Amino acid sequence: MNIYVPGMRDRRTAAADETHAPSAGGGPRPIYGRGTSARRMSESRRAFDVRRASFNRAPTDINTVILHQITAFHPAQLPGEATDGDIHSDHSLDHVIAHFVVRATGEIIYTHDVQFILNSVSGRHGVDIEFEGGYGHQATPQGTRLSRQAILAGQRLLRWLDAYLPNLRYIHPHGQIQGRGRGKHDSCPGPDVWVNVGQWAVANLGLISDRPHHSYPNHGISPAQSNPNYDQHVS
């Protein structure tokens, strides 16, 4: 699905030959969801190009946005925008299992088409947005904070997704809908992202956060995630 968002780079072609993401807990993880055309193609011995795979869903199937934070890729300078349409261009960001990455600089990177189901918590009905950086969830803010540029970029991306996706109704922190025992209830995406981007979308776009779509579990939003001390009052 072609999406235009001001300040967004479209690296779907550059990321089209990536099949796996590095995993801190063991071997690499497949990028695409189990049972999908893209996953089957990625497991074959042929050169992989996801542009040859069939989409797994229509835009009308998407009703949920899930917010994350990521520290697992090297945030080195991306190659120039001219490389975004080159399948041979490679950057660690292209391997991230998400549809979009919001960088600390405020750049939005579209890496995997929203009509592909990824090997992530988003499942059949969700879009994953990762925010670059490692942000804490202490009672009072400490250390690195989510930048103003990233907050505004996240808000802008959600506003445009709300316009493009007619059935978008829900937004959640990853920790709310994760599988049990995953340890991210308080920390992903963390209060800097959730309060300044997620709660902003609830207040300004009318998205629902307290009760997910029936296809997701609901462990509730941790008080650590919704800590008002992290509100940067950016909009």
| Cross-strand pairs, 101 | 109, 130
Per-residue pLDDT reduced to its tens digit, 149-183: 999 999 999 999 999 999 999 999 999 998 765 67
CA distances from 151 to 93, 139, 199, 201 (A): 19, 20, 12, 11
Determine which of 27-31, 112-116, 191-195, 221-225 has the lowest per-residue pLDDT on average: 27-31
The amino acid sitting at 54 is: S
Helix H or strand E encompassing 174: helix 174-177
Query: Cα separation of 148 and 166, whole Å?
Result: 28
Per-residue pLDDT at 51 exceeds 70: yes
Contact (CB, 8 A) for 31 and 112: yes
State the pLDDT at residue 207. 98
Contact (CB, 8 A) for 69 and 189: yes
Per-residue pLDDT at 21 exceeds 70: yes
Band the pLDDT of 186: cuts 50, 70, 90: confident
Per-residue pLDDT reduced to its tens digit, 107-151: 999 999 999 999 999 999 999 999 999 898 899 998 889 999 999
Average pLDDT over residues 27-35: 93
Where do the domains of the chain lie, and which CATH numbers do they carry? 8-230 (3.40.80.10)
Which distant-in-sequence residues (6+ apart) come within 8 Å of 121 by Cβ? Answer: 66, 128, 174, 177, 178, 179, 216
State the pLDDT at residue 172. 98
Band the pLDDT of 222: cuts 50, 70, 90: very high
Query: Cα separation of 119 and 97, whole Å?
Result: 7
| 191 phi/psi in degrees, rounded to 5 | -65, -30
Per-residue pLDDT at 76 exceeds 80: no
- Over pLDDT 90: what percentage of the chain? 83
Q: Which residues of 92-128 are buried (b: 16+ CB within 10 A; e: fewer)?
A: ebbbbbbbbbbbbebbbbbbbbbebbbbbbbbebbbb
